[in-house]
Amino acid sequence: MKEEIVMYCGVDCPVSYAFRAIEGKWKLPTMYVLCRNGTLRYNELKKALGVTNMMLTNTLKELEEFGLVRRTQYNEIPPHVEYSMTEIGESLLPVINEFGKWGELLMQNNGTTGVCHIKDEKVK
């Protein structure tokens, strides 16, 4: 029997805070697409993800609140908004890449095949 069991921490725990920053169905996919493609306009991002307007809007707001995504609004004709990763957001790319490698192992283990385009840098 173990002497001490590691407990899942509360609000003040860095792990818990990080989990909250990326929890949700569309946060990691959104970050992945932005990391890989660089700056994108809203509709480009929506098309790349195949997500509804409401879900994407909420996801982007939450990522912006955590300081992971930058929103830049251009007040010109026609007006447009662009989204990009912040430096702290981009620091998650190596973790996402490792997650992709783990996903490949999981697929192999479960007898599933797939293609994953993992690179260490974003596409310019």
- State the CATH class of domain 14-109: mainly alpha
Q: Which residues of 103-118 are buried (b: 16+ CB within 10 A; e: fewer)?
A: eeeeeeeeeeeeeeee
Inter-residue contact 36 to 119 (CB < 8 Å): yes
Q: What is the pLDDT of residues 98-118, one digit of tens each?
A: 988 998 899 999 988 776 554
Q: CB–CB of 97/120 below 8 Å?
A: yes
Each domain of the chain, given as residue ranges in start order, spans 14-109
pLDDT of residue 28: 94
Alpha-carbon span 15 to 21, nearest angstrom? 10
On average, the pLDDT of the chain sits at 87
Q: What are the tens digits of pLDDT across the range 8-67?
A: 777 678 888 888 899 999 999 999 999 989 999 999 999 999 999 999 999 999 999 999
Amino acid at 123: V
Q: Give long-range contacts, CB 8 A cutoff, 24+ apart: 5-8.
A: none
Q: Quick check: 97 pLDDT over 50? A: yes
